[in-house]
Copies of this chain bind each other. A is one copy, B any other.
C-alpha cells in the first residue's frame, strides 16, 4: 500500500482527537497526518476559559492538553497559524496561507477531515468592533480579554447573551470584582431550560450582584475614541468599560460550503454515523459537523467539547480503516452558576411544542442528601414524558452540590428509551451522604406516573 495523506483542518478537540486515533491505528510510514490551524494553539480546553478568566484556573497553560511538539513526536505534523483558504475537491488539495508570512501553498490529501469548529455570532450592529469588545471563543480571545482587564482596570462589564458562556463569564467577572450587567434578548436566561427552571438561576446571579436585563435585544455599542463606552439595548444604555459577547455560535462551514460539501442542520456539515460527508474521502467532526438527536430522531447540531471528542475519535478510527460509529446525542449539557449546578438533557417544552408532541411534566423540590446529613442542599428536578407511551423525553436539574451529574441517569434513560415507570423503579444508590432514601430522580419519576 502506498503512503496516504490525511489533512485535518482545525486542531482543537475534534481534529486532534481524530489525528491521535488515526495514528494509533496506522504508522507514519503508512499514513501521513498533517493538521492546519489558523490559531496559535491546538488541543486546548475552550470550556475552561471562564475559569481562567475567573481565576479558578491560575495559568492558561493548564488549559493546553497537548502541544504541537508532543504531536510531532508521534508523527502528527501540526501547523499553527496556518489558514486553510480553500478546499479543491477535483484536485483533492487544500490551499494553505501561512499567517506569519510566506506564500500560500497547495497541500494534497487522500483523506480530508474538516474540524473547523464554530464561530461566534456577531450581529452587524454599530460599534461591535470597538476596543474592549471581546468574544471568548478561543484561547487568543481569552488571553486578550485577560490582558485588557489587567491593563485598563476595567470596572464595569456588560455581558451580551444569557447562555452557558454568558452566565459563566458573568460569574467569572464578578469573581474578578467587576460590576457586571447581563443583557439577554429573551425573557429568561439559559434558553436551553424551561422558564420555570431558569428562574432560580437568574435569582442566583442577582444575588451575587449581576444586573440582569432580560427581554432586551442589543441595539449596538457606543464607543468613544474607538473604545467601548456603553451597551445600548431596546430599553436602556448601560455604561461599560468592557463587553463580552456570548451570543451563541454557528458552525464554521464557509470553507466547506464553497467547496460544495453538503450542509444540513443550521449549516453544519452533513455526515453519516461514521462521520463521513457525502463526498468520498471527506470527513467532518466537532462543532462544524451535524449530529443526530436520539430523542427527537432528527438531525441536530450542537457545539460541545465532549461531542467534538467523540466525533473526532470515530472519524479518526474510520479514516484509518477501522470501524466506529457515533449514534448521536440526547442533548445533555451542564454548568455551574454561582452556588447552583444546572443540567439538562433530552427535549425541553419549547422543543416538544415545535415537534408537536404531547407530554406530561413533573417537577419536584427535594434534597441532594438525607435531610439530616450535613451539606444536604435543595435540588429541583423536572422530568418530561410522552403522554401516550410514558417514554421519558427530557429532564432538567437545578440545585446545590451533587445535583448536576444526576442528569446522567436521565441521559442514560433517554438512550435506553426508558419509560417513567421503568425510571421510577431504578435501583439508584442510597446512603445518607449521597441521597435521600428516595432519590430526587425517583421522586420525580413517581410524580410523572401519577400524571400519566
Chain A: residues with CB nearer than 8 A to chain B?
Answer: 13, 45, 47-48, 51, 56-57, 62-63, 294, 304-307, 309-310, 326-336, 341, 343, 345, 370-374, 402, 404-409, 411-416, 418, 422, 425-435, 437-439, 441
Contacts and interface: CB of A to CB of B under 8 A. Distances in A.
Q: State how many copies of this chain the complex holds.
A: 2
Contacts of A373: 48, 51, 56-57
A80 B174 CA distance: 56
B416 A428 contact: no
Given A306-B427, A336-B433, A407-B429, 17 more contacts: A45-B432, A48-B372, A48-B373, A62-B371, A294-B427, A305-B437, A331-B427, A332-B428, A333-B429, A341-B434, A345-B429, A402-B402, A411-B426, A411-B427, A411-B429, A412-B428, A415-B422
A408 B407 CA distance: 10
B334 A430 contact: yes
A13 B436 CA distance: 13
Contact of A416 (B328, B372, B418): B418
A306 B438 CA distance: 7
Contact of A48 (B326, B330, B432): B432
A174 to B, nearest CB: 16
Contact of A430 (B306, B409, B426, B441): B306
A343 B307 CA distance: 27
B411 A413 contact: no
A63 B402 CA distance: 21
Contact of A372 (B57, B343, B425): B57
B437 A45 contact: yes
A405 B429 contact: yes
A406 B405 CA distance: 8
Given A51-B373, A373-B48, A429-B334, A437 B405 contact: no
Contact of A405 (B56, B307, B402, B415): B402
Contact of A412 (B402, B416, B432): B416
Nearest to A344: B429
Nearest to A291: B427
Contacts of A13: 437
Contacts of A333: 429, 431
Contacts of A304: 430
Contacts of A341: 434
Q: Which of A374, A402, A414, A433 gathers most chain B CB within 10 Å? A: A433
Contacts of A425: 310, 326-327, 415
A167 to B, nearest CB: 12
Nearest to A45: B370
A326 B446 CA distance: 13
A434 B371 CA distance: 23
Nearest to A425: B327
A394 to B, nearest CB: 12
Nearest to A346: B427
A435 B406 CA distance: 12
Contacts of A415: 416, 418, 422, 425-427
A315 to B, nearest CB: 14
A43 B439 CA distance: 18
A327 to B, nearest CB: 5
Contact of A427 (B330, B370, B438): B330
A220 B26 CA distance: 64
A360 B305 CA distance: 30
Contacts of A404: 429, 434
Contacts of A306: 427-428, 430, 437-439
A57 to B, nearest CB: 5
Nearest to A435: B405
Contacts of A51: 372-373, 432-433
A199 B223 CA distance: 63
Contact of A438 (B309, B332, B345, B437): B309
